[in-house]
Amino acid sequence: MVVPNNFRKIKCLEDLDPYAKSFLPQALWEFGSVGVEHNLSREGNRKVFDEIWLQPRTLINVSSRSIKRSLFNHTYTFPFGISPMGASAMFGFEADLNFARAAKESNIPYVMSGSALVPIEKVAEANPDVWFQAYVDADRDSIGLLADRVWRSGIQNLVITVDVAVPGNRGTALRKGFEYPIRPNIALALDALFHPRWLVKTFFRTLLSSGLPHIENYGPKRGIPIISKEAPGRKHVRDGLDWEDMKWLRDRWKGRLMIKGVLSGEDANLANTIGLDGVFVSNHGGRQLDTAIPPLKVLAEIVAEKGKMVILFDSGVRRGTDVIKALALGADFVFSGRPFLYAAALGGQEGISYVINLLADEVDRNLALLGCTTLDQLPERLA
C-alpha cells in the first residue's frame, strides 16, 4: 500500500479528522463535518455501533479468507463503497474524479453526487462503473431530461435521494455564510486566506485547471458557479416528490434504480412493490432531520421487507467492525462518506486509496479474529 507523505500518522479513518480540520477553511470544515441542530443523529450513528457485540469462535482455520462481495452481477474486492458527497471538489482538487479513479483501482463502488462540481460525463469517463445520485423535485420533465443525460453518459445505476424534501438546518455552516452556492463575503475570504495550504492545493489549482467550479449536474445543462451572489431560493426544495413520481421514473429508467434515505420497513416495502432495485438505509450522516433514528437501529426491520431489492447502508461507518456489524445485520453493501472526503482533501487519489486499504485491512483482520472465512458467516457471530 502506498502511504502518502502526509498520511504516515493516519492509522484509522478517524485519524483524518484533526488534519482535515486544520487544512480546510473553518466554514468548509463545518459544512462537511457537522450534522444538523444538536448533532444528535450524527452522534447517535456512532453510538449504536457500540451497542452491538460480536462473539468470536476459535481454532478455525481462517488462512484462506475473502472479503469480496457481489452486487448487481459485479464482484467487488471489498464490501464497502464511497457515499455521494456534494461540493467535494471544494474540499480537494478534482475530488470527484479522484473518488472515481480510486474506486476503479480498488474495484469498489462509488456513488457520484448530483451536487458534484464536475460534470457527470467526465466522472463516467474516468470510471464507467460509477453510480449517479440525483436530487429531483416532482417536475417530471426536469427529471426526464436529467435521467436522459445520465443514461447518455453510460451510467446504469441511478440513486434518488429522498430524505431531502427541504434542506436540513445546518446552522453552524450557515452562520459562517456557507450556503450552496456560497455567497461571497469578507469573513469567508479571510477564512480562506488563513488556510493557505487549501488555498493553493485545492482552490487556486482548481481555478487554474478549469476555472471557477459550477453546480454541474442538477439538470440537462451546466448550472451557476459555486461561488455566486444568487440566492439558493427554491433550488433545494423538493417537497413535491412522491411515490407516484418514483413509479413513473421506474417505468422510464432502463437501468437500476435505488432510493437513498430510507428509515422504515413500510418505505422499503413500497420501494420493493414498485420494482426498485435497492434502498440506501441512511439518515444522510445526520445532516437532514436531527434525531432521525440511526440507520443501524432499523436495519433488521428494513431487511425483513427487502423482497427482491438489495439493502445498502451508510451513516457513521468508520471501522472494519462497523462494516461487519452492518453486514451481519443483513446489509448487502456498506458505504462511508466523510472519511473519504477528508482523504480526498489531504491526499487526492493516493489518499483515498490509502484509506480504502486501511478500512479493508480492518475488515479482513476482524473477519479472521471472528473465526470466519467469508462475509456470509457473519450473522452467526452476532452476540
* Residue 219 C-beta-side C-alpha neighbours within 13 Å: 11
- The answer to whether 284 is a known catalytic residue is yes
Interface with ligand FMN, residue 202, by CB under 6 A: no
Tell me how far, at minimum, the Cβ of 56 lies from ligand FMN, in Å: 26
Ramachandran area for residue 276 (φ above 0: left; ψ -120 to 50: alpha; else beta):
beta
Interface with ligand FMN, residue 41, by CB under 6 A: no
How many Å apart are CA 345 and CA 52, to the nearest integer? 32
Interface with ligand FMN, residue 85, by CB under 6 A: yes
Q: Of the candidates 94, 267, 290, 314, which one interacts with ligand FMN according to CB under 6 A?
A: 314
Tell me how far, at minimum, the Cβ of 87 lies from ligand FMN, in Å: 6
Length reported for the chain: 383
* Contact between 311 and 302 (Cβ < 8 Å): yes
326: phi then psi, degrees, rounded to nearest 5: -65, -40
Helix (H, G, I), strand (E, B) or coil at 234: helix
Interface with ligand FMN, residue 284, by CB under 6 A: yes
Interface with ligand FMN, residue 134, by CB under 6 A: no
Interface with ligand FMN, residue 69, by CB under 6 A: no
Tell me how far, at minimum, the Cβ of 27 lies from ligand FMN, in Å: 12
Q: Which stretch binds ligand FMN (CB under 6 A): 113-121, 244-252, 326-334, 350-358?
A: 113-121
How many Å apart are CA 269 and CA 196, to the nearest integer? 50
Interface with ligand FMN, residue 358, by CB under 6 A: no
Order of strands, sheet of 111-112, starting from the edge strand that comes earlier in the sequence: 80-82, 333-336, 310-313, 278-281, 256-262, 157-161, 131-134, 111-112
Quote the Cα angle for 128-351-82, to 5°. 45
174: phi then psi, degrees, rounded to nearest 5: -60, -40
Binding to ligand FMN in span 322-341, by CB under 6 A:
336-338, 341
Q: Which stretch binds ligand FMN (CB under 6 A): 79-87, 166-174, 176-184, 361-369?
A: 79-87
Tell me how far, at minimum, the Cβ of 46 lies from ligand FMN, in Å: 8
* Contact between 119 and 216 (Cβ < 8 Å): yes
DSSP one-letter code for 310: E
Tell me how far, at minimum, the Cβ of 63 lies from ligand FMN, in Å: 32
Tell me how far, at minimum, the Cβ of 113 lies from ligand FMN, in Å: 4
The residue to which cell 485547471 is assigned: 209
Interface with ligand FMN, residue 288, by CB under 6 A: no
Interface with ligand FMN, residue 282, by CB under 6 A: yes
Interface with ligand FMN, residue 217, by CB under 6 A: no
Q: Would you tell me which residues interact with ligand FMN (CB under 6 A)?
A: 32, 45, 83-86, 113-115, 133, 161, 260, 282, 284-285, 287, 314-317, 336-338, 341
Mind telling me the catalytic residues? Answer: 284
